Structure 1
């Protein structure tokens, strides 16, 4: 019993000490806004208490290895926080606990490697920008229970998996940006928690350009009624199931620079889109002409300029060859007679 109590006491003391010693902002330069946007103060921080009256904080080109538990907790006026290019490697759960007014969080150009559960949950953040870090691991519940969250930007990281468990009970999410990662597939019900939302006003935007996607599950977008923009360009998609986008009303669909040789008639009949981008695919020219005809008859703005020019060039070369062959045959006949 004595040992258990002693162990508990040691853990409690250690935990309390770690919280007490959590001061990642000592000697960090910051631009602080407490009133007008036109009246910033540039200060050297001693601790987070220097941020008590700030509604906007900008920190750039500093050295902050870690946001520890409580690092930015209970800052009641803080609305916008930017920590850029400051060697930030990790964010502990509880870093922002109680900072209920925080709306915009920009942690771009750092060295963050993972997003565990408990960092953002139950906060009122609307926009999280984590572009250009080293993130490879995003916990399935990292963005759960965020009632005000709208935009998540995770471009230029090392994410390999698109997790359909993301965004549970975060009903306002509409813009997800994952360009230039290493995502290999879009799974079944990829956006299932977005499909469940009845309170979101904005149309969904999903950005997955320059990944390694070679497989899109036939039910990846099940129960999604409308997508404003779906960017799947510069991936490795060889084919799409006939029903992949059935029932989805699309504003823009970009499939540029994939490995598509054709799109089936059934896929086209199921497709509802305003702007279709298919350039720089190894598209069969007969198939491309078929798609152009479909687009014209359905008032779809279709772009496939480079491949279209290649097909036109092939047709011209084919016509020239046929004409040349005709005259050669004619001359041969004349020589005989």
Structure 2
């Protein structure tokens, strides 16, 4: 606020209080405290009159400009008339009275002095800068926030010291020529979500001091040419969230100091080649979420100080060679969600200071040789969601600072073995959701000593080399879920001493080596569900490990057996060692000698042996012989894998069925069909005969339907 106006208002209030007699003034000489400029015998009213006249002179300039000043001036005029009536009064009597009551006067003067101290201490709060519109909130820092549909123009009832004005959700559809007039301290102006559709060509001529203008989320479809040119020192212009289709080539002419320009979420299609010429201090340019199909190769050449360039979510199909050559200070380049089908060679080579590059969600099928060379400061690179078919052997240059790399949702079947060789600082690698990725080179992760997270989930990987993770000593998270892994080598996780999480869900694993997680002492989360676990002898070791480390297996209740049938849907962790005792039993061999005739079998007769009770069934002229191991079996027989006995009694019967066993009333029956070419030929002939009969029936049905349709057509014709 103007200091003269503030002083005038404050002095006016003080004069009003003096005239009303609420306070008095006692002025003393600076040389001697007893020398009074106004003696105690002087009339206090005379003192007040002199002060009033002085204050009145100071208030005259403000009276015409401020409502409070006008009111004070009128009040003072009335008081002056009253004062003139008192000028002829005699002062002697008052002087005499004051001498007699000296102590009383001194006490009153002390009280008046206290009033002076109080008023002077509260005057800063009682100035003309305290007025604020009813729909606004004003603070002492000069910020005013206004909202409400009742606002159709910039409110006049705002503190003159307002330097930041934020208007949101109003009905201010037009910025007039004088809307911003009389606001010299204002440097930041924001009008958002207000359906603004028109700006007067001279709207900013009355406010050239503005540094930041935000007109986001309105209904602007066009802007007057050079509407921002009157701004002497602009820093930020936000035009995002409008409906701008075109921008005049000279729109930003003369705005050399501009550092931020936001044009996102408009309808721009083809910006002029020289639209940004002259913006030599621009550091941030946002062109995202438009409909831009092509950019001139020289459109950014004057933006030598640009650090952030965002052209994401447009319709770009190609980039011209040399388009980024002058952006030597660029740190962030966002080109994701376009339709780029190819890249020129060396298109990024001039971006030596680039730290963040996003090329995801485009239509790239391949990349030029050495595409990402000469970018030593790159810390984040994303090229996911591109239909890559292959990648060149030399793709990545020296990138010691890169910490994140995203390569997923592609059509790659494999990747070059050295694709990550220059990313020694990589912390997070997302090589997942590639439905055709089946093979990983042995040395793919050889040069990633700092990697902490590796995601290989959602690929089509069937086999992994035993040493593929051997160099990842710092790895903490490994995601291998949703592949088609059928087995894992025993030492594949041996060197992952810092691993904390392994996800093996939804593969085709049937078993795992017992000691596969032996060296992973920091393992806290392991997921194994969704696999085809075979709960036979081979599962015994990993089942024991799951029982002892149940707190590590997060989904242990869902790690279920899929075979054999009698263990179906049983939890692997519930299997006990004693259930696998048969895995150490000895095997026995049974040989059969048969003839072509199969008379009915005789009742079974138990036969006792030294190691296992066995019953044999004989029929003339067919004979069966069983050879069972005894205590004197050879050492080689003891080392063979042994299957468990079915039951205490083994019953063998001949039936015309394929070999299988069934359990009935404590007996285990073994059915088999002797091999006979003639019998097999009979079965095959019957099978072919059935197929031919079915085919003839289908043809006959089709012919019958055809004849029926012809007959119906004839009947309709005759009826017509």
Q: TM-score, normalised by structure 2?
A: 0.38
Which of residues 478, 482, 489 is equivalent to 1:276?
478
In structure 2, the CA distance between the partners of 1:96 and 1:323, relative to structure 1 (3 Å rule), is closer
Indicate if the aligned counterparts of 1:149 and 1:172 stay in contact, CA closer than 8 A: yes
Question: SS at 1:245's partner residue?
Answer: coil
Q: Which residue of 1 aligns with 2:347?
A: 142
Whole-Å separation in 2 of the counterparts to 1:211 and 1:244: 18
Whole-Å separation in 2 of the counterparts to 1:228 and 1:57: 33
In structure 2, the CA distance between the partners of 1:164 and 1:74, relative to structure 1 (3 Å rule), is farther
User: Which stretch has the larger CA shift, 45-54 or 71-80?
Assistant: 45-54
Deviations 1:14-42 (A, max 9, x none): xxxxxxxxxxxx9369xx997687x9578
Q: Is 2:376 aligned against 1:182?
A: no
Whole-Å separation in 2 of the counterparts to 1:230 and 1:164: 22
Q: Which residue of 1 aligns with 2:457?
A: 256
Q: What pairs with 1:1-337 in structure 2 (closer than 5 Å)? A: 27=222, 46-50=248-252, 52=255, 53-123=257-327, 124-191=329-396, 193-195=397-399, 202-235=401-434, 236-249=436-449, 250-272=451-473, 273-284=475-486, 286-287=487-488, 291=492, 294=494, 297=497, 299=499, 301-307=501-507, 308-311=528-531, 315=535, 316-318=560-562, 321=565, 329-330=646-647, 331=663, 334-335=666-667
Indicate if the aligned counterparts of 1:188 and 1:221 stay in contact, CA closer than 8 A: no
In structure 2, the CA distance between the partners of 1:223 and 1:146, relative to structure 1 (3 Å rule), is closer
Q: Give the total of aligned pairs.
A: 300
In structure 2, the CA distance between the partners of 1:270 and 1:28, relative to structure 1 (3 Å rule), is farther
Deviations 1:270-297 (A, max 9, x none): 444332211100111x318765x53765
Q: TM-score, normalised by structure 1?
A: 0.76
Indicate if the aligned counterparts of 1:295 and 1:302 stay in contact, CA closer than 8 A: no
Deviations 1:32-79 (A, max 9, x none): 997687x95789854344262432122134333224543323312211
Gapped regions of structure 2 (runs ≥ 5): 1-220, 508-527, 536-559, 569-581, 583-643, 648-662, 670-720
Greater relative contact order structure (CA < 8 Å, 6+ sep):
1
Question: SS at 2:398's partner residue?
Answer: helix
Whole-Å separation in 1 of the counterparts to 2:426 and 2:496: 22
Aligned alpha-carbon RMSD (Å): 3.4
Write 1 or 2 for the structure with the bigger share of strand: 1
Gapped regions of structure 1 (runs ≥ 5): 1-25
Deviations 1:219-240 (A, max 9, x none): 3233442322221101121111
Whole-Å separation in 1 of the counterparts to 2:351 and 2:665: 82
Whole-Å separation in 2 of the counterparts to 1:110 and 1:41: 17
Report which of the two structures shows the higher radius of gyration computed on alpha carbons.
2
Whole-Å separation in 2 of the counterparts to 1:296 and 1:173: 28
- 1:82 shift after superposition: 1.1
Indicate if the aligned counterparts of 2:277 and 2:302 stay in contact, CA closer than 8 A: yes
